[in-house]
Each structure stands twice: as C-alpha cells, then as structure tokens.
Amino acid sequence: MSFPSVEEQLAIIKRGAVEIVPEQELIEKLKKSKKENKPLRVKLGVDPTRPDLHLGHSVILRKMRQFQDLGHEVILIIGGFTAMIGDPTGQNKTRPPLTIEEVNENAQTYIDQAKKILDEDKLTLTNNNDWLGPMDFMDVVRLSSKLTVARMIERDDFSKRFENNEAISLHEFLYPLAQGQDSVYLKSDIELGGTDQKFNLLVGRQLQKDDGQDQQVCLMMPLLVGTDGSAKMSKSYDNYIGIDEAPNDMYGKTLSVPDELIYTYFELVTDIATEDLPAIKEKAEKDPRNAKHDLAYTVVRMYHGEESAKAAKDHFEQTVINKQVPDDAPEFEYNSGEELRLLDVISDTGFSPSNGETKRMMKQGGISLDDEKIKDINHTITLESGQEVALKVGKRNFGIIKGK
RNA sequence: GGGGAGAUACCAAAGCGGCCAACUGGGGCAGACUGUAAAUCUGUUGUCUUACGACUUCGUAGGUUCGAAUCCUGCUCUCCCCA
C-alpha cells in the first residue's frame, strides 16, 4: 500500500485542528513516512473514568479515524494506570481515584463505544498499566525530577485552585509525567488531545527528548462547545449529545445547538467530506433552519443509520413542531370500567419522578389527555374496553392509555 | 508540630436556639412564545398526602434543651498562617 500525498494528508489532518506543534515537524514526519512507506504512530490516551461517550469525545476519535483511513498506526491507550491518579486538567477539584475493577469495567464500555467511530481492525489497544504499573518508587522519583514545581503551578488549573485556596494533592502533579511516559514507552510520532491537554502533550515531547527519541508532534483539537452554546460539551454540564443516545433524543438535542455552531459541528463531528464543507458553511449562514436539520440528520445517520435518521426527523416534526402524539408512544393498559386516578397512572408510566412533581406539572398545565390540559390533581378517568387516550406529560413524554 | 477558619439541598451561597423544608443566584422542570428541545418572559423546585398534616434533610456520632442547621463534645475532611 502507499500513502496519499503529503498535501492531501495534511489537508485532512488539519481539518478542525486548532494547533499543531510544530507543524513543520509534522510535514517532515509525513514525508519520511511516505518515502519509507512506514506508518506514523499516532497516540491517544483516554481515561476510562466516564463510560458515556458524547460528540465532544468524538471530535478526537474522528481525527484518529482519519489517521486510520490514511494508513497510519493508531494506538488507543486505555489509561488504566492514569485513571487511578485522575487527570487534574481543567478540574477545580481533585478527581476521585478509581479502583482497578472500576477501571476495567469502564475501559470495556469505552472501547465498545469507541468502536462506533474507530476502525476496530486497524486499532492497536494498550493499557498504560502495563508499563507504568511495574515502575518502582525510584523510577518515579527520577521521572519527577524532569519537571519543576514552578512549571507545574504556572498551569491555569493549578494556579486557580491555588489562588482559591482549594486542595491540590501532590499526586496530581504526577499525572502529566505518567502521560508523557506513555509517549516515551510507545515512541509515538503524534499525540492527539484537546486544547486543554497542551501541557500534558508537551511534557511527552520533553520526556522523549530526554530519552533521546524523536519528539512527538502534538495535535490539538478544539473542545466542542455543548448544546447550550457556551461551555464545552460535558456530561456534568448536561449539554451533551451521547453517541449511545436514542435517535430521537439525538436529533432533538442536535437541533437545540445554537445556529452559530452549525458549521463547527459539521466540521468536527460529522463524516461529511472535507471538500463539501464550504457549501455547508454557506447553507448554515443562509438557511440555518434546514442546515441544522441536515446536521441532526447526519449525526443520527452516523450512529444509527439512514432509516433511524428518517424516523427521528419524522418524530421530531410530529411531536415538537406539530405537537402530536408520536406513533411509537408506549402503551399502558388498564382494566376497563375502573375509576383511575390520573396521578397514579402517571406514577405508573414513570414519566414523573414523584407525585409532588406530577401535581406541580398539573397545576402549571404540563399534563394533558387527548390535547386537553388537566389541571385538577384529583382528576380521574374511566376507560371503556378498547378505548385509547393520549397522555402527554411535560414536553417530551407521550403515552397511550388503553382500556382492556 | 503550633495557632486560626470552615463543612448547609443538584451547584454556589445566606441562616447562627423556635416565625426553617431552610433567603438568594445558577441549574432543573412547566407554561407562553419560536424553525428549534435556542433566546426571552412567567411560574415552580425534599418525600408521602385530596387537604389538615406526617416524615426525612443542614459533614459524622453523641449530648444539652419543651424545642437545634443554629449551643456543647468526640470523629472525619478541607483551607489559611506560623514552624
């Protein structure tokens, strides 16, 4: 096999990338790789701390996929060891270290999800516990002599926590070193990471240099802004779109992304060909409504297929735009002729977390039967055999109550 | 090692013996509006109860009191200053 031209490769590699340090070295590595027909070793380390992957994670995983498609060797490091330290990057508090059991379990769910983006057959999987685990205390001491305290505390996340009188545990300083050691061990040519990983990635370069190796190129991808349009996509901000989410949720959530982000999402999280991006950009500006529906469709298609994407689009139009009960609403059967309290019925459906919450929604007009708002908390219904009543609880929960 | 400060609901932060299920902001939820599950405005926000009310909740374990988130003691954790 042979690699595409350096120019072609570079165009794909640079798509969406914020910074390549140093870009010239990347070009050199690509040239050499092509000339010797030898793939570059591209490394990504992940912490199996949160098993639910979302589109934010997909930005980097997609970049990895692009390297795979170009023919390079892509190495995914499960941070089995580093997860037990906890990456302090961007954190305002110490991360709780995980046990080995948790790490193994999380790692598996991570891999299962990552396979939806990466080409499993071309993936090299490793666990940094294999080489970090056996290091003894002296090894750690030697390693930690490579970095100064001053360098550590000039980092934003640490200095902020320091100023705010928040706890910083000593072990958190060891994290970048552990990650950098991965690069030394694997002799990586390129390491991917979010912009927030810059410090950690650069440590890898330094440690490789100390070891007499060629230094890795650091490729930084932007942090995807979440559906709220302000903070980075993250589970803890609840502004994320999970890659395991149901098609309908995925579609709806994607539509809630602010218009300004339509193009960014296309560029970073979809498989739309790079050459088609300019046309997309124009559409996003001129016709944001349809461009966003295209985006939602594309995202659902990527993870659930064409059929589901169509269905999700229909579902959204039916429920949100036309405010009708969807075809796939769950059914709840009750004996006919029996007087049922609506409160209890809703409790059965699981659409509301507590009766107090249900009553609140009722008072506020958030609950309806056959399009009629029910505000009486004592409302009862009696079904006839075969009768179907459409129930709506809040904005998104639809059900059919049926008499048997 | 010595001295000081602190731990409140999803988060931040008031309260400092009864009027506290606990001010306020964020978040969440609902309504209106919208191309949108966006923005904005309004309402709402422990659990159970038709309601009266009952129960659990203010780091943790005890204690004082008719009554404690508020006072006392032990414990755990965090921050600051000094060494």
Backbone angles phi and psi of A136, in degrees to 5: -95, 175
A196 and A136, same domain (yes or no)? yes
CA–C1' span, A351 to B68, in Å?
38
What string of H, E and C letters represents the secondary structure of A5-18?
CHHHHHHHHHCCCC
Pair A274, A15: CB distance under 8 Å: yes
A239 occurs within a structural domain:
no
- Which residues contact residue A278 at a Cβ distance below 8 angstroms, ignoring those fewer than 6 apart? none
Identify the CATH number of the domain in which residue A50 sits: 3.40.50.620
Nucleic strand B within 7 A of Cβ A278: no
**One domain for residues A262 and A370:** no
Claim: this prediction has a pTM higher than 0.95: no
For chain A, percent helix, then strand, then coil, each to nearest 5?
50, 15, 35
Half-sphere exposure of A361 (CA within 13 A, CB side): 22
Contact A193, A201 (CB under 8 A): yes
Peptide bond into A278 cis (omega under 30): no
Q: Which residues contact A304 (CB under 8 A, 6 or more apart)?
A: A247, A250, A312
DSSP letter at A332 equals E
Q: Helix (H, G, I), strand (E, B), or coil: what is residue A397?
A: strand
Enter the tokens of residue A227: 């559906």
Does A394 contact strand B, using a CB cutoff of 7 Å? yes
ipTM: 0.81
Measured CA to C1', what is the nucleotide nearest A227?
A: B38
Q: Is residue A326 part of a domain?
A: no
What Å value separates CA A383 and C1' B49? 26
> CA–C1' span, A237 to B24, in Å?
22
CB proximity list for A239: less than 8 A, separation 6 or greater: A226, A227, A228, A231, A233
Q: Is A384 exposed, middle or buried (0-12, 13-18, 19+ CB in 10 A)?
A: exposed
Same domain, A200 and A128: yes
pLDDT digits (tens, 9 = 90+) for A253-303: 999 888 889 999 999 999 999 989 999 999 998 899 999 999 999 999 999
Taking the alpha carbons at both ends of chain A, their separation in whole angstroms is 65
Chain segment A345-395, per-residue pLDDT in tens: 999 998 998 999 999 999 999 999 998 889 898 899 999 999 999 999 998
Q: Is A375 within 7 A of strand B by CB distance? A: no
A318-343 core/surface letters (b: 16 or more CB in 10 A; e: else)? bbeeeeebeeebeebebeeeeebebb
Give, for A355, the enclosing helix (H) or strand (E).
Answer: helix A355-363
Residues A43 and A180 in one domain: yes
Confidence of residue A60 (pLDDT cuts 50, 70, 90): very high
Q: Where are the beta strands (DSSP E) in A6-72?
A: 19-21, 41-46
At residue A96, the pLDDT reads 57
Question: Can you read off the two tokens belonging to residue A305?
Answer: 């297929």
In a domain, A242, yes or no: no
Tell me how many domains chain A contains. 3
Question: Could you tell me if A255 and A341 lie in one domain?
Answer: no
User: Are residues A184 and A113 part of one domain?
Assistant: yes
Nucleotide nearest A169, CA–C1', reads: B78
Within a domain: residue A387? yes
A145: CB within 7 A of chain B nucleic strand: no
Residue A11: its pLDDT value, please? 92
- Give the helix ranges, DSSP H, for A215-318: 247-255, 262-269, 277-286, 288-304, 306-316
Would you say residue A5 has pLDDT above 80? yes
On whether both A269 and A354 belong to a single domain, the answer is: no
Rounded to whole angstroms, the Cα distance separating A187 from A299 reads 35
Q: Are residues A150 and A210 in the same domain?
A: yes
Range of the domain at A380: 331-403
Same structural domain, A177 and A315: no
Whether residue A342 is predicted with pLDDT greater than 70 in this model: the reply is yes
Residue A15 CA, nucleotide B35 C1', distance (Å): 30
A194 touches strand B (CB under 7 A): no
**Nucleotide of closest approach to A230 (CA, C1'):** B38
What's A315's domain CATH number?
1.10.240.10
Q: Are residues A197 and A306 in the same domain?
A: no
CA distance A399 to A343: 14
Give the confidence band of A108 by pLDDT, cuts at 50, 70, 90: confident
Same domain flag for A161 and A43: yes
The reply to whether A355 Cβ lies less than 7 angstroms from strand B is yes
Answer for A374: CB within 7 Å of strand B. no
In contact, A147 and A203? CB cutoff 8 Å: yes
Decide if pLDDT at A97 tops 70: no
Same domain, A363 and A311: no
A228 touches strand B (CB under 7 A): yes
pLDDT confidence bin for A98, thresholds 50/70/90 = low
* CB proximity A63–strand B (7 Å threshold): no
